[in-house]
Structure 1
Amino acid sequence: MKEDFLHYVWQHQYFDKADLQTEEGEAITVLRPGHRNADAGPDFLDARLQIGEVEWNGAVEIHLRASDWLRHQHQTDKKYDQVVLHVVYTADQDIQRTNGSRIPALALAPRLDLGLIHAYVNLVEQAATPQLPCAPLLPQVPVITRTMMVERALLERVEQKADAVATLHEQLGQDWEATAYHALAAGFGFKKNTEPLARLAKALPLAVVRRHRHEVRQLEALVFGQAGFLAEAEVTADDEYIQALRREYEFLRHKYQLADAALAAHDWNFLRLRPANFPTVRLAQLVALLHARPVLFSALLAAPDVRALEQFFRAPVPEYWRGHYQPGRAGKVPALGRSSVHLLVANVAVPLRVAYARSVGQPELIESAVALLEHLPAEHNHLTELYATVGFEHRSAADSQGLLSLSRAYCQPRQCLRCAIGSHILRQNVVVG
């Protein structure tokens, strides 16, 4: 059993409250359990309790064992002097405040229903398996509960991505065009190369890109040179195109003093990627976009629908990169695929629009941004398929994003107590007095 289970039990008062008493035998009436504290200090604040003849307003601290108070060093922390009740699973030790006054304790071990404990263990503490821990119990969960939880997880995922965009916006001096440039660059990393592409955006300032975006050869030289792919190599010794890019880059890197920030070829991930997903291919696609779109942010913001965003992301790559996966290595390269475009819409355009909408206080823009996901096809991978097999709807990217967030934020770390689905299952096993 983990302490968060007792937090859940106390918050929802899922225990036998008949003849409720402290370890000293004083009667307890819970008038208000308090609210969870997300900061340092006691677990529940603003609780209202009657203990004996006295009504208390204060905090409640929760531990598995009363002696955990000492292990956590609360006996020397004055923040915990406001605790009026110590709720524990077992009361193995008397506890005092920093001034020596005793804190009443409530032991929950004899007051918890065994069915609730059994349901909790089955959900949260069983050994990890490829299946969802709640899968056998899902038939007892109403469809509306499952749907609302997926929607909640979706909004949490979008908000987290928007938070990252907002942080980037602050770091870039509140410049939305620069923010769009950096977000787009990272987006073209498609997870495997997100980090080096984010570094590349820092290594190649937007101001430099703007000066040379009209000359695609110069833009190629800057992007591939700063990425570390124009260094002398045997495979490109006879490649006139790469040799020309290298000469162009040598001039530009000296002009803008870019050398110290440049990446190296070994910074990029090629392992377990199909050639069409090689970072060099993605860089060529990014070059094409930067060359074809004079402005980034306003276009991403103003696009009225998914089709317009698809058009934004589609730009013909320079001819060399239609026939080369890497510098000096020939092969027919497909254009940016539809699924990749949709990932860019979901992971770049939507969070960017949500972050902007929050900054200007326009909630209707947030709704329209999230609604874009409902018009994108569902993503299919092992995680989304796992949920589809147990009856979760999976019709659009909104469902996919919600299911991915549900998996990563709740199911994988076994945060069933925070999940509406897990909470519903536990409620079915609550028998309290």
Structure 2
Amino acid sequence: MKEDFLHYVWQHQYFDKADLRTVGGEEIQVLGPGHRNADAGPDFLNARLRLGDVEWNGAVEIHLKASDWARHQHQTDAKYDQVVLHVVYTYDADVARTNGSAIPALALGPRLAPALLARYQALVAAPPAAALPCAPLLGQVPEITKIMMAERALLERVEAKADAVAALHERLDHDWEATAYHALMAAFGFQKNSEPLARLAKAVPLAVLRRHRHDLHQLEALLFGQAGFLVDNDETADDTYIQALRREHEFLRHKYGLGPAALAVHEWNYLRLRPANFPPVRLGQLAGLLHARPALCDALLTAQSVGALTEFFRAPAPAYWRAHFRPGRPGKVPDLGKSSIELLITNVVVPLRVAYARSVGQPALVESSVALLAELPAEHNQFTDAFEALGFGHRTAADSQGLLALHKAYCTPRRCLHCAIGSRLVQGPQLRVVR
């Protein structure tokens, strides 16, 4: 059993309250269990309890064993002096506040229904490697519960991504254009190279790029030079285009005091990447986008459809980077693909629009931004496929994002009791595990 289960039991009051008393025999009335505390300190705050003839408003701390109080050093932590009731599964020790005053305890072990405990144990019995702990029990869950939970997880995922954009916006002195630039730069790394591209965005300030957006050659020089791709080696020794970019970069970096290249070639990841995903290819596509789209943020905020956004991302890369996978290494390079554009809309455009809408108070923009996900096709990977095989709806990117959020935020950390599906399984009638 995990302590999380006792939190769930206390929050929903799923225990026998007949003749409810402390271990010392004092009568208890739970007028309000309080609310979960997400920060340091007691587990539940602002609980309302009547102990004997006295009504208390304070905190409740929960442990599997009463002796965990001392093991966690709560007896020396003043934050726990507000605790008015110690709720435990097994009572094996008295506890006290920092001033030595005793804290009454409630032992839940004898008050838990065996069926409730059995349902919980059936839910958590899945091996650690199981992708979905509740998979054997899903047939017992109403379809509406699964749909609603996937939708809830989707909104939580979008909100979390929007929070990250809002934090970036704050770090960039509340400049939305710079926020769009930094977000797009990192996203063009498509995970494998997101970190070095995010560093490159810091190394080449948007204020500098803005002065040269009209000149694609200078944009390339700034970006590729600071990325460390304009080195002199055997492959580029006879490449006059790279040599010209190198000379331009030297001039511009001295002009703006940028210093030498911010990254080295070895800091970029090529392992298990197809040539079309190589970092120089993506950087060339970014250079083309920055040259063709002078107002990034405004365009992303005002686009009315997935079609309009797709057209936005179709800006052609410079001619050299449509014919070279790496500096000095020729080859036919495809344009930014449809699936890549869909990922950019999902991971950059929607969170950016939601973060902006929240900051200016435009709830309609939040709704229309999330609705874009329903226009995109579903993403398929090992996680979404596992949910789909279990009967979860999976037709659009909105479905994919909800299922990925379920996996990451609930299934992997085993937060089953925080999930509507897991909660339904624990609450429901006696369940039979279907193998």
TM-score (norm: length of structure 2): 0.96
Q: What is the deviation of 1:50? A: 2.1
In the aligned structure 2, how far is the partner of 1:207 from the partner of 1:82?
Answer: 52
- Aligned to 1:145, the other structure's residue is in SS state helix
Partner of 2:86 in structure 1?
86
- Aligned to 2:137, the other structure's residue is in SS state helix
Q: Counterpart of 2:44 in structure 1: which amino acid?
A: F
Q: What is the deviation of 1:261? A: 6.2
Partner of 2:269 in structure 1?
269
Partner of 1:204 in structure 2?
204
In the aligned structure 2, how far is the partner of 1:130 from the partner of 1:77?
Answer: 38
1:64-122 residue CA offsets vs partner (Å, 9 max, x unmatched) = 11111112221122222221110011111011122222111111112222332333233
- Aligned to 1:89, the other structure's residue is in SS state strand
Gap runs ≥5 in structure 2: none
Partner of 2:187 in structure 1?
187
In the aligned structure 1, how far is the partner of 2:130 from the partner of 2:257?
Answer: 51
Q: Is the 8 A contact 2:5 2:417 kept in 1?
A: yes
Q: Is the 8 A contact 1:113 1:430 kept in 2?
A: no
Q: Is the 8 A contact 2:69 2:95 kept in 1?
A: yes
Q: What is the deviation of 1:130? A: 4.0
Partner of 1:337 in structure 2?
337
- Aligned to 2:414, the other structure's residue is in SS state coil
In the aligned structure 1, how far is the partner of 2:202 from the partner of 2:123?
Answer: 44
Q: What is the deviation of 1:18? A: 2.1
| Pairing 1:13–2:13 present | yes
- Aligned to 2:211, the other structure's residue is in SS state helix
1:380-414 residue CA offsets vs partner (Å, 9 max, x unmatched) = 11111110000100111001111111100100111
Bigger shift: residues 37-46 or 160-169 = 37-46
In the aligned structure 2, how far is the partner of 1:86 from the partner of 1:430?
Answer: 30
Partner of 2:153 in structure 1?
153
TM-score (norm: length of structure 1): 0.96
Q: What is the deviation of 1:300? A: 0.6
In the aligned structure 2, how far is the partner of 1:340 from the partner of 1:166?
Answer: 23
In the aligned structure 2, how far is the partner of 1:382 from the partner of 1:95?
Answer: 48
- Aligned to 2:46, the other structure's residue is in SS state strand
In the aligned structure 1, how far is the partner of 2:255 from the partner of 2:414?
Answer: 54
1:201-234 residue CA offsets vs partner (Å, 9 max, x unmatched) = 1000111111111111111111111111111111
Q: What is the deviation of 1:39? A: 2.1
Partner of 2:144 in structure 1?
144
- Aligned to 2:222, the other structure's residue is in SS state helix
Partner of 2:406 in structure 1?
406
In the aligned structure 1, how far is the partner of 2:43 from the partner of 2:70?
Answer: 16
Q: Is the 8 A contact 1:124 1:415 kept in 2?
A: no
In the aligned structure 1, how far is the partner of 2:23 from the partner of 2:29?
Answer: 14
| Aligned ranges 1:19-418 → 2 under 5 Å | 19-124=19-124, 126-260=126-260, 262-418=262-418
Bigger shift: residues 305-314 or 77-86 = 77-86
Q: What is the deviation of 1:259? A: 2.2
- Aligned to 1:119, the other structure's residue is in SS state helix
Between the two proteins, what is the percent identity of the paired residues? 72
Q: Counterpart of 2:381 in structure 1: which amino acid?
A: N
In the aligned structure 2, how far is the partner of 1:195 from the partner of 1:204?
Answer: 15
Bigger shift: residues 65-74 or 354-363 = 65-74
In the aligned structure 2, how far is the partner of 1:192 from the partner of 1:234?
Answer: 26
Q: What is the deviation of 1:34? A: 1.2
- Aligned to 1:48, the other structure's residue is in SS state strand
RMSD over aligned CA atoms reads: 1.5
In the aligned structure 1, how far is the partner of 2:31 from the partner of 2:429?
Answer: 24
In the aligned structure 2, how far is the partner of 1:322 from the partner of 1:225?
Answer: 18
In the aligned structure 2, how far is the partner of 1:314 from the partner of 1:428?
Answer: 51
Bigger shift: residues 149-158 or 112-121 = 112-121
Residues 130/7 of structure 1: CA separation in 2 closer, same or farther (3 Å cut): closer
Gap runs ≥5 in structure 1: none
Q: Is the 8 A contact 1:34 1:59 kept in 2?
A: yes
